[in-house]
Amino acid sequence: MDDGVVEAGIGGGVVSSEWTIPSALADFQDIERALEGKQAAVFLDYDGTLTPIVDTPAQAVLSEEMRGTVRRLGDRCVTAVVSGRGRQDVQERVRLDNLFYAGTHGFDIVGPAGSGIQHQVGQEFLPAMEELHQRLRGALGQVAGLLLETKGYSIAVHYRLVEEGAVAEVQAVVDSLLQDYPELRKTHGKKVFEIRPRFDWNKGKAVGWILQALGLDHPGVVPLYMGDDTTDEDAFEAVAGMGFGILVADEPRPTAAVYRLAGDAEVARFLQRLTETIHEPA
């Protein structure tokens, strides 16, 4: 990975481990110029992007101010929420019917009523996911602070509240049981182990599928993707060369994004400015 200066703008995507990537707010005029005469398509992670990072998934509640901003944005351009949460879960939390939703890292996609957009992949893995979920619950159900979350196409083992000394044991149990399921794989997120199908599909693939399904995979469209987690890196790479990846983080880390925002408060400010920039369809 290249730790040198990152060139911001369409076609970026060089990985940086320092804050060499500029603020999307400070350099908003550059993004505004890139959108002149073109159509925007906006993709948003949920946890840690539209909402703050919290101790448990249930605490991630979308503010009414953010909901209103995203609703107005959805009236002006294609807007999608791309989340590791189950699709129905994130839909119920966002409660906006003018958006596209890609749940469970893009394995389950649906569009607004009348859009004709609906896509699911990996259904053949669901029985193995359910069996493993039950075995994990039996093996880890008594670990203090552990939260085991099943989302159909993925299993999340949240250890944010687990005593630090017990995390290695939790991981050992997960890895041991996972050996019986070669069709599944473990990935890492923020204080969570995610188990997903060993299938060539991710948030980036979902973004590409939505753009293609809507006929938006052409130079006249500038896609923007905002996310905070390692699972969003696939999507940053997917929009490189066409638009902008925007990392939501308060500390530097390696990323394929070309801009950054410090947290959900800055995301709200950015989306408000973006909404003001994009003209409402006639």
Cα 246 from Cα 27, distance rounded (Å): 12
Question: For residue 70, what are its two tokens?
Answer: 């995203």
Phi/psi class of residue 251: alpha, beta or left (left: φ > 0; alpha: ψ in -120 to 50)? beta
Element (H, E) at 174: helix 167-178
Distance of CA 147 to the CA centre of its chain: 20
Burial class (CB in 10 A: 0-12, 13-18, 19+), 246: buried
Return the bridge partners of 158, or none.
147, 192
Return the bridge partners of 245, or none.
225
AA letter at 53: I
Question: For residue 131, what are its two tokens?
Answer: 């069996």
Q: Which residues are catalytic?
A: 45
Question: For residue 205, what are its two tokens?
Answer: 């693939």
User: Coil, strand, or helix at residue 233?
Assistant: helix
Cα 204 from Cα 231, distance rounded (Å): 9
Indicate the length of the chain as a whole number: 282
Cα 181 from Cα 132, distance rounded (Å): 8
State the CB neighbour count (10 A cutoff) for residue 235.
Answer: 29
